[in-house]
C-alpha cells in the first residue's frame, strides 16, 4: 500500500518506488543502530488495517508514522510471524525475523502516550515486524505482497 523512508527518525515519508537491498530500502536510515537497521532488521512492516483500527481508537497513526517501511493491505497479519517469508512484487523476498519492540519515540502518537499498544507481548497481533532481505529488487506501492511460506513448526 505504501513504501516509506526517512533520513533517520520518524515519521517515514512515502516514496513512489524503492530498491530493497540486504540493508533495507534505499534512502532509509536510522538514528539508533543499536535497536534499528542492520541485515536482520532491514525492513519494517505493518498492516494498513491495524493503522486504521488504531486511528479509530483515537491514536494519531498514519502509514509511515510508526517507522514502518512497508505498509501492507489485505494481508492476513496472523501469518506474518518470525520465520514466515513474504514476496513483495515479483522479486523481493523477505523473511520475518522478529516482532519489533515499541520505542518511547512513538509515545506522542498514542492516546495517553500508550505506545505499548503495539507491543507483541501486551497485544499479540498488533506489532510491527522486522524482516531480512533474501532477494533484492525494486518495489512500488500497489505491488502484491503475499506470504509464500510459513515458519517451520518445531516439536
Residue 19: enclosing H or E segment and its boundaries? strand 18-21
Evaluate if pTM is beyond 0.85. Answer: yes
Exposure string of 124-150, with b = 16+ CB inside 10 Å and e = fewer, is eebbbbbbbbeeebebebebebebeee
Q: What CATH number is attached to the domain comprising 103?
A: 2.40.33.20
Specify the 3-state DSSP secondary structure of 105.
helix
Give the Cβ contact number of residue 33 at 10 Å.
11
Is residue 61, in this structure, part of any structural domain at all?
Answer: yes
Is residue 59, in this structure, part of any structural domain at all?
Answer: yes
Under the phi-then-psi rule, with left for phi > 0, alpha for psi from -120 to 50, and beta for the rest, what region is 28? beta
- As a whole-number percent, the residues of the chain with pLDDT over 70 amount to 92
Angle in degrees, CA 140, 148, 43, rounded to 5: 45
Residue 35 reports pLDDT greater than 80: no
Is residue 85, in this structure, part of any structural domain at all?
Answer: yes
Per-residue pLDDT reduced to its tens digit, 108-153? 999 999 999 999 999 999 999 999 999 999 999 999 999 998 776 5
Per-residue pLDDT reduced to its tens digit, 63-81? 999 999 999 999 999 999 9
Q: Are 2 and 71 in contact (CB under 8 A)?
A: yes
Number of folded domains in the chain? 1
Is residue 154, in this structure, part of any structural domain at all?
Answer: no
For residue 132, give its domain range.
2-149
Phi, psi torsion values for 77, nearest 5 degrees: -65, -20
Is residue 155, in this structure, part of any structural domain at all?
Answer: no
Amino acid at each position: 500500500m505504501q513504501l516509506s523512508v526517512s533520513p533517520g527518525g520518524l515519521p517515514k515519508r512515502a516514496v513512489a518506488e524503492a530498491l530493497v537491498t540486504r540493508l533495507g530500502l534505499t534512502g532509509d536510515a536510522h538514528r539508533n543502530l543499536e535497536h534499528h537497521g542492520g541485515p536482520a532488521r532491514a525492513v519494517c512492516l505493518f498492516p494498513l488495517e491495524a493503522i486504521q483500527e488504531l486511528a479509530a481508537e483515537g491514536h494519531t497513526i498514519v502509514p509511515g508514522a510508526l517507522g514502518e517501511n512497508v505498509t501492507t493491505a489485505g494481508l492476513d497479519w496472523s501469518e506474518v510471524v518470525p520465520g514466515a517469508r513474504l514476496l513483495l512484487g515479483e522479486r523481493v523476498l523477505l523473511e520475518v525475523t522478529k516482532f519489533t519492540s515499541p520505542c518511547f519515540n512513538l509515545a506522542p502518537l498514542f492516546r495517553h502516550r500508550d505506545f505499548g499498544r503495539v507491543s507483541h507481548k501486551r497485544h499479540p497481533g498488533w506489532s510491527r515486524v522486522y524482516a531480512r532481505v533474501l532477494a533484492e529488487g525494486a518495489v512500488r506501492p500497489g505491488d502484491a505482497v503475499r506470504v509464500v511460506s510459513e515458519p517451520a513448526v518445531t516439536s
